[in-house]
Each structure stands twice: as structure tokens, then as C-alpha cells.
Structure 1
Amino acid sequence: MPYTTATTLEFDDRLQARGGPPARHDRPAREGAVATLVVLVVDDSALMRRAIKGMLTTAGGFEVHTARDGHDALEQLGRLRPHVITLDINMPQMDGLSCLAKIMANQPTPVVMLSSLTEKNALVTLEALELGAVDYVAKPGGTVSLNLDEVATELVQKVRTAAGARLSRTRGLSARVKTGTAAPAPAQRRSAARAGIVDLVLIGASTGGPALLWDLLPQLPASLAAPVVVALHIPGSFTAGMAHRLDETCQMPVHEVDRVTTLRPGHIYLARGSADVVVARRLDGLIVKSVPSDTGHRWHPSVDRLVASARAHIEPRRLVCALLTGIGDDGAAEMSAVHAGGGRTVAESEETAVVWGMPGELARRGGASTVLPAHRIAAQLADWAC
């Protein structure tokens, strides 16, 4: 997941705008400390616990506690009431995923997962994000002591961001979808005058996106009259597994875009992570293809680049766009251009976004046709595109 650098002042303002740290941490303010964050570091490696604690302590603004495994973490959770937990994937006694599930069920707390990005761990990390973990940090390869500096800045920034995350929407999403209790968006009947007005639906998301997409995409009806292309800021090692899992739960087929692919109505196309995807037109119709990431864009797959490529081949009024939870502003500029050209755009509202960065910027620019909470977005997309 991407991140942006926030100054201490910006971070303090963000917490104060939300009334301080999350209400569940209703401890008195510490004298002489502004927005001090309590962090619980959970890792079975003593070396890693010391290293992560050192990173946060050196950065300043953190009160760091450690736990040697999932059981130890759960025992400390009620007493410490941490603002953020960093959680290792692979631990004895209780693995990170089991611990995360118990945290979210008993005392929801922003969690940043730590994992080496092997194929197996990528799938587990993806499941953690679906269950409500705010973000992840990839552990460095090689000798730990020589490579930890590679992730120090990223870890500190993601922990700070996680402290301001909203968790109410993410609790239980994975279980709700898997048991089939998520109600699909109703298929909308519309007049012949409206038929065929939408050529493409574009969705962008970042931090908090996996859990939201796991909830939203299965609600889209098979009667959707346009293809759906999704750009989610995750590594390439995640997207094949995510597409496969979504394909099992969605009403429409789901594909990872790893080659030139013809776009078909009633299909969902998930951009391959760590690269960009662009839309183009051939004689036989629209295609989408994975291309090397453009250094002119900070986040990948770039939502702005995807939308810009679509605008180059499709009239804006025939586009529908949704910008969901995420840090930064990716997608806001190009979706604003779609809106200005007569297209329809929806931004996720602050009340449900894990991080109201990307959708907030779209709303601030006046580029959103509507701003809606997460649970209303699928129905809105269906209304526009069925």
C-alpha cells in the first residue's frame, strides 16, 4: 500500500479534527505529549521486536510496547488499549491471521501487518487486509540487521496513518460475504433512451480498499451493461489471488489484467499490482492492458493513468467512476475531468472511508457527482450502469 509523508503538525491536526485518537482509547492526555500514539508490536522474534520498537522510538511520538505472540498480544490489548498494532504473519502458538480475527471481534484496533512477500504470505496478507487490517509492510529480505533501515520510514508513516483510520466499516466484511449474506445491489430497469449510455465503469482504491472491494464488488449485478476496471494499490503478488477469490463470490466473472484483454460487459477486471493498466480501442472494441509503471505517477496501479487512458478513447459522459478509500490524491484529477465532461462520479464519504484521502480530494475539487457511504456505492453504480 502506498503512503504519504505527514508532518507532525498535519498529523496532530488530523487527530484533533476527529476529536483526538479513537474514542475507545479514552485515556487522559499525557502531560507534555501531543498526539502520542500507543503502539503494540507483536512478533515472535526478539530481534524484530527490538528493531521495530527502535524505529518508532527514534521517530518520536510513540509509546511502544511489545508482545511475543498472539496470546501475549490479546492479554495486553485490554490493558494497553493501543492506538495501533503491528502484527507479524508467521508466529507460533497463534498466527497473525487468527490474532487479527480476535482483535477485530473483541477490540477493533488499527492493525499494520508485517510479512515477507512470499507467494504464500502474500495470500495470507491479502486475507488480513480483507478482514480489516489497515495496511501492511513487507519485511526486508536478507540479513535482518542489515535491511531494516529499508522499511523504517515506510513503517513509521503507515503506523501514523493507521492511527487515524476508521474501522467501523471493515468489521466482519469477509465473513459476511463468504456466508452469502451481503445483499446484491438491485438490478435497475431503465428506458431504451438510457440503454447503452455507459461504456465503462472505473473504480480506484488504496488503503482500506481490499476489505471494501470484497464487500462492494459482489453486490454488483450480473446485468451490469458495462465492463468494470479496478485499480487498487497493491503489489503484483497480491492481485492474482485476489481476483481468484473475488471470482468465487461475485455475480460477474473477475479477471486479473496481466495481458492485453478485450473488455466485455458484465465482467470485472482487476489491474495487476505494481504496474499500470490502460484502456485502448481496437477495431473490435475496447481493450485493457498492463503496462510498466509510469514514474510520473506516485502510486501504482495509477488510477489517474487508467482514467486518463479511458478518457482518450471514450466520451466522459459515457464513463462512470468511483473513488474509494485511500491515502493521497490518485484519481481525483482525472475523475474530476470526467465529471466536468458530463460523466458520473461517486466519492466514498468520510464517514466510512478507512482513510479519506483520495475520495476526499475528489470531493474537495468538486469532481464528485455524489458522495456516498460505502454501503450505498454498489447500488449507485448499478443504477448508472445497468
Structure 2
Amino acid sequence: MSTASESGGRGSATRAVIVDDSRFMRTLIRRLLEEGGIEVVGEADDGSEAVDAVVEHDPDVVTMDIEMPTMNGIEAVEAIMDEHPTPVLMLSAHAEEDADVTFEALDRGAVDFVTKPGGEVTSSMPSVKRELVEKVESAARVDLSADTRMSSASASAGSSASTASASSAGRAGTATAGGAKSEATASSAPTTGGTDSTAAAPAGRTYPDAGTLVIGASTGGPNVVERVLSGLPRAANLRVLVVQHMPEGFTSRFSARLDDKSEYEVREADESERIGPGEARVAPGGHHLVVSGDRNGRLRLELTETEPIHGVRPAVDVAMASAAENAAHPLCAVLLTGMGRDGVDGMGRTADAGGHTIAQDEATSAIFGMPKRAIETGRVDTVAPAEEIAESALQYFAED
């Protein structure tokens, strides 16, 4: 089984099984992967055959189409996780309906997704190959047991969370400042992927009029980001910025999912908007998110299409560094699971500015790359499992 080590694997090329009902697409993906040094050990044209191929070949990673006959991609992900747990990378088209299905696949156990390559040969094919190969390599190194540990920890706290949820649901729902959702609305939000849907502020705890929380994540991050957002009570008065490595076309759906699970008003960020307490914004795919000012408790946000940082756009470093420079205190930066070093400099800049820094621990990180590198710099104040990150941030922001 794959581990969280970024240099892990079996001492040889990453081994993949390709699943797609199109022979042409399987041939194209095979060519792109093999040119990138990935060993393709098997193919399947539907979900049922995919399960058999995974059991037979024991690959490091599976690339999975969504729409297939007999057994679709989501059903295949569930079957693979039940019978032979293996990291699955979903191949998703740029369409809203595919975005929704892709997030459902992540809920069922898929570790990441990548935009499905087009059939035509174009000048952009080298970048398509690079992205596909990088995503496959990253997915192959995911520690699937991290999600199990996170879910187990969540389950052990289930009774207290249920009590808090019932209490929150019983309160009258009224509109709050900054356009935030009512508590009653937030309490009734649906849950998926094991995340909690409500967050009750501890009795007697008070918060500043406005604090800033910047969250960065990559592979394995969506469900953890959901968990953190769902754990933030509106009473904390936070302005929340989320940078999740995710392609254009998917961040708007990701924002909607977060909005369903949070007491905060969550949307994809717009150019030159201002946000206040109780509002959260997600960096759009293909754009860096920049904090350009903080006046009267409202952050001014800008979007840029400058060069990718660490090969990604949006980059966590950009959002964290700009918040450290321009956001008023209190300021907290959180770095979650992911491969590489994006966010490491941003965490350091936050610490230099007098802010608080939190990194996800190894046990609950799908890939302990970004947080590990930040911890190694000595600039991380708190290392916490996924289920405790929201509370760790709230403890920092609390004035009592």
C-alpha cells in the first residue's frame, strides 16, 4: 500500500492501472504516462473490470474515468476501497456536472482528480502530460490510512459534536453582520465525507471584531478544508481565505460545498471585492489570491494571473505572504496536507509578522509534504490532527 512519503514507492517506476471505456482515451493516457516514466501495468474499460485489475496487478495508483457502463467510476472507487484499497485519481471533464460527481468520488475515497486530456493533439499537450504525470505521482504517494485515522478520531468525538449540533440547531436563526448565514441555516447543512456541519462557540469565549484565517491545502485537502470550515463558529468573527490546489472550473463548486457545511458565507473570490467577518473566499483555479488591504474590518482581495509559484496557481504562498503584509492582527495561517513546499514561505512570513501558524500532523495527512517542510523550518507554532485544527485556531483568536 502507498505511504505518505514523497520519495516513497517501491524503488522503481510508479505502477498504474488505467480505467476508461474509450480505447482511444486509454491509449492516449498510456502514452502520456509512459512518456513521463510511469509504468502502466493494466487497463480496464469499466468499473467492474477495474476492481479485478487492481486486485490482480496491485498498482500504486489508478486513473479512473467517471462515466462508464456496467459500473461507473464512483461505484468502482467504493469497490476498490472495500476490496483492495489503492489511491484513485479521477479524470474529470471541464463541466459542472462532472465537477459535482468528482467531489462525490472524493467523498467515496478517491484521493485527487485531474482534468481529462482532450483527444486532439495540440501545442498544450506537453503541459497536459506534465500535469497528468505529476498528479499520478502525487496520488501514488497518498497515505490512505490517514483518512481512516481522521475518521476514527472524528467518530470518537461524535457524541459531543452531536450535542453541540443539537444545541446550535435549537437557537433562533437570525441574519448576522457581513451577510453571514443564520445559525439555523448552518445547523441544517448536510454532511458528507465525514465532516461536521456545525460549530458552537464555547461558553464564555469572546473574539476580536475581526480576525484573518488563511488556509492552504493540496492533495487530500478538500475534505480536511471542509472539516476546518465546519468547525468555525460565526461568533469567531473571522475573514477566511482558502487556497486549495484545484483547476479552474472546480473551485466554484468547491466553494458551494464549503458553504453548505459552514456557518460562514463561502464563495469563490471576485476581483477587487471586500470581505468582512463571517465571510470566506476560495481562490479561483488559475488565479493567485492577494490581500491588498484591510480597512474598517474588511479585507480587500485582488486576483492575479502572474506566473505560477512552485508550479501552481493559485499558490498558498501568495495568499499567506500578502495577508502577513496587509491584514491587521490577529492573523493565523494553516497549512494542510499536500506534496511539495507551497505554503512554507507563507507560514514563515506569517510568523515574521507576529501571526500564529498551524500545520496538519503526519498521522492525518494524506501526504505529509507541505506541512512537514513548514515544521522543519521551526516557524510552526502548533502541529495538530485534522479534527483539532479548527479548535487550535479558535484558541489563538479567543480573547479570554
- Bin the TM-score by the shorter chain: 0.7 to 0.9
Q: Which residue of the partner structure matches residue 369 of structure 1?
A: 381
User: In 2, Cα distance between the equivalents of 1:56 and 1:281?
Assistant: 44
Distance 1:38 1:71 in 2: 20
Does the C-alpha gap of structure 1 residues 69 and 259 become closer, same or farther in structure 2, counting only changes over 3 Å? Answer: same
Deviation at 1:130, TM superposition (A): 4.2
1:145–1:89 distance in 2 versus 1, CA, 3 Å = farther
1:14 to 7, 23, 32: 7
User: Paired residue for 2:42, among 60, 65, 71?
Assistant: 65
Partner residue in 2 for 1:109? 86
Using the TM superposition, give the Cα deviation of residue 197 of structure 1 relative to its aligned residue in structure 2, in angstroms: 8.3
> CA 1:148 to 1:73, structure 2 compared with 1: closer, same or farther past 3 Å?
farther
Distance 2:119 2:193 in 1: 40
Match of 2:196 among 142, 157, 182: 182
- 1:4-63 deviation per Cα after TM superposition (whole angstroms, max 9, x unaligned): xxxxxxx99822xxxx65xxxxxxxxxxxx334432111101122223233334444625
Counting only pairs closer than 5 Å after superposition, residues 189-338 of structure 1 correspond to structure 2 as: 195-196=207-208, 199-281=211-293, 283-295=295-307, 297=309, 298-315=311-328, 318-338=330-350
Distance in 2 (CA, whole Å) between partners of 1:104 and 1:51 is: 26
Distance change in 2, residues 1:287/1:274 (3 Å): same
Match of 1:127 in 2: 104
Partner of 2:71: 94
Q: Is the 8 A contact 2:320 2:349 kept in 1?
A: no
2:88 is the alignment partner of 1:76: no
Greater shift after overlay, 342-351 or 97-106? 97-106
TM-score, normalisation: structure 2: 0.79
1:72-119 deviation per Cα after TM superposition (whole angstroms, max 9, x unaligned): 112333333222101012212222122223323443211111122123
Identical-pair percentage: 35
Sort the Cα spacing of 1:331 and 1:235 in 2 relative to 1 into closer, same or farther, 3 A. same
Structure 1 residues not aligned, in runs of 5+: 1-10, 22-33
Whole-angstrom CA distance in 1 between matches of 2:134 and 2:371: 20
Number of aligned pairs?
A: 356
* Residue in 2 that maps onto 1:29: none
Q: Deviations over 1:210-255 (max 9, x none)?
A: 1221233212222223221111111231121111122122232222
Report the CA distance between 1:367 and its aligned residue. Answer: 1.4
State how far apart, in whole Å, the 2-side matches of 1:163 and 1:38 are: 8
Question: Closer, same or farther in 2 for the Cα pair 1:322/1:81, shift >3 Å?
Answer: same
Partner of 2:371: 359
| CA RMSD, Structure 1 to Structure 2 (Å) | 3.0
